[in-house]
């Protein structure tokens, strides 16, 4: 099973969704390695960088990139083993998005560009960005067209010898009364996007309830370019069901792989017709978590900072295992690699993978009203009030400084 992304063949049509504070280079490597191991076990040779799927870095702000923010440059710092690099751009200004796209491609930092039109977080949407932006349909189209043009112009001086496809990540809309996915998908296709990724929820749903896979199927019927599906894939069987029910070209995995990079082993196996599944015992999970921590420390250049960042990951890694409350509390206060190794040595490494480690993961919460600029929904045009909001938002680089 494979799919096309512009001129590029994605040999295994799976993608790691960009997640703030999660999809940095070390975690991308772990997920990619799991896919490659599954392919190896099946005797399948990954012949190019996209053969093992797409592994998208966490969202970066085009304005901060263009201004040379050190924090932003850290976020896109590639893994040396990444032969195919996917970067997600965020912004509200077409010209800045053009500049950011051209810069990334010219410097050989991206082989695929994704545009964030799906983030529902208040500090994004209240500025008219993320999941709020497709409501202003003309501006949406201008941004997609600008990134397509930036990628094309960047290719003229790029060290790579292949074109860089552009995709748009969208949601169904703001809420049930303000759906945007069908007209946004059609416009993205018209202005040159190579594919659209649809998260089957509205912005108001946030991550609650169930993803609407019927919307993914509808968009797939609407468009000639590939449609990738996102939402509620927590197992290989979920992915197979999405392919079967929607006819999507590929699946993008977000919360389902948190603390579970081996999900990509399962996905690659299933998509190639195999029943192989990764079910690591507790010792193997400890080894993976420790390696993740070591790689993160090396990547960040700061062990203490890496250990702080790993706390959320460590909680996810041991989900479902009977390790006890004292151990879980100690994980949140480990201040050195040695202390972490000592903690792991107290566990029964032969404890088998438990059924409780399966199932849904990550934040869900409840539906919530999307924080939008005042009067945003009054018209789909960029009126004077919206123009003022977007003009101020285009200068904002705060998201890359502290996450969201």
Are residues 45 and 75 in contact, defined by beta-carbon separation less than 8 angstroms? no
- CA nearest neighbour of 31 among 10, 7, 57: 57
The DSSP element (H or E) to which 43 belongs, if any, is: none
Q: Helices 263-271 and 236-246 meet at what angle, rounded to 10?
A: 40
Strand-pairing partners, residue 198, are 170, 229
Q: How many C-beta neighbours within 10 Å does residue 269 have?
A: 22
Contact 24, 57 (CB under 8 A): yes
The three-state secondary structure class of 149 is helix
Phi then psi for residue 167, to 5 deg, are -120, 160
Contact status, residue 173 vs residue 218, Cβ threshold 8 Å: no
In contact, 350 and 282? CB cutoff 8 Å: yes
**CA-to-CA distance for 201 and 370, rounded, in angstroms?**
13
Catalytic residues: 119
CA distance 355 to 321: 9
Alpha-carbon gap, residue 304 to 336, rounded angstroms: 7
Residue that has been written with the tokens 């909680």 in this structure: 315
Element (H, E) at 87: strand 86-90
Cα–Cα distance between 258 and 312 in angstroms, integer? 9
The answer to whether 120 and 174 are in contact (CB under 8 A) is no
For residues 46 and 9, is the Cβ–Cβ distance under 8 A?
Answer: no
CA–CA dist 315, 363 (Å, integer): 13
**Cα(247)–Cα(238) distance, integer angstroms:** 13
Q: Do residues 101 and 135 make contact, with C-beta atoms less than 8 angstroms apart?
A: no
């Amino acid at each position: 099973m494979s799919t096309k992304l512009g001129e590029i063949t994605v040999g295994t049509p799976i993608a790691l969704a960009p997640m703030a504070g999660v999809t940095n280079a070390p975690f991308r490597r772990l997920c990619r390695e799991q896919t490659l191991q599954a392919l190896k076990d099946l005797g399948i040779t990954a012949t190019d960088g996209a053969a093992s799927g797409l592994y998208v870095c966490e969202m970066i702000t085009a304005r901060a990139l263009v201004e040379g923010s050190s924090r932003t440059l850290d976020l896109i710092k590639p893994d040396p083993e990444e032969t195919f690099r996917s970067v997600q751009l965020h912004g509200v200004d077409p010209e800045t998005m053009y500049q950011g796209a051209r810069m990334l491609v010219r410097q050989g930092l991206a082989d695929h560009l994704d545009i964030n039109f799906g983030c529902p977080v208040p500090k994004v949407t209240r500025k008219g960005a993320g999941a709020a932006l497709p409501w202003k349909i003309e501006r949406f189209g201008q941004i997609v067209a600008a990134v397509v043009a930036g990628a094309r112009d960047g290719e003229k001086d790029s060290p790579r010898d292949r074109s860089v496809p552009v995709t748009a990540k969208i949601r169904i809309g703001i809420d049930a009364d303000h759906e945007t996915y069908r007209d946004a998908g059609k416009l993205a296709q018209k202005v040159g996007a190579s594919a659209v990724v649809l998260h089957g929820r509205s912005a108001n749903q946030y991550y609650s309830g169930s993803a609407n896979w019927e919307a993914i199927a509808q968009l797939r019927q609407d468009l000639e370019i590939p449609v990738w599906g996102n939402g509620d894939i927590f197992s290989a069987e979920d992915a197979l069901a999405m392919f079967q029910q929607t006819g999507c070209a590929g699946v993008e995995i977000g919360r389902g792989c948190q603390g579970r990079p081996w999900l990509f082993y399962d996905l690659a196996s299933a998509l190639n017709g195999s029943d192989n599944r990764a079910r690591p015992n507790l010792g193997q999970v400890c080894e993976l978590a420790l390696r993740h921590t070591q790689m993160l420390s090396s990547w960040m250049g700061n062990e203490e900072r890496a250990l702080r960042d790993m706390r959320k990951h460590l909680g996810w890694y041991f989900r479902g295992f009977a390790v006890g409350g004292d151990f879980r509390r100690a994980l949140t206060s480990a201040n050195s690699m040695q202390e972490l190794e000592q903690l792991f040595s107290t566990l029964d490494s032969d404890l088998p993978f438990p059924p409780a480690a399966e199932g849904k993961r990550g934040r869900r919460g409840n539906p919530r009203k999307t924080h939008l600029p005042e009067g945003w929904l009054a018209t789909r045009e960029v009126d004077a009030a919206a123009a003022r909001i977007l003009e101020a938002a285009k200068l904002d680089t705060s998201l890359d400084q502290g996450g969201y």
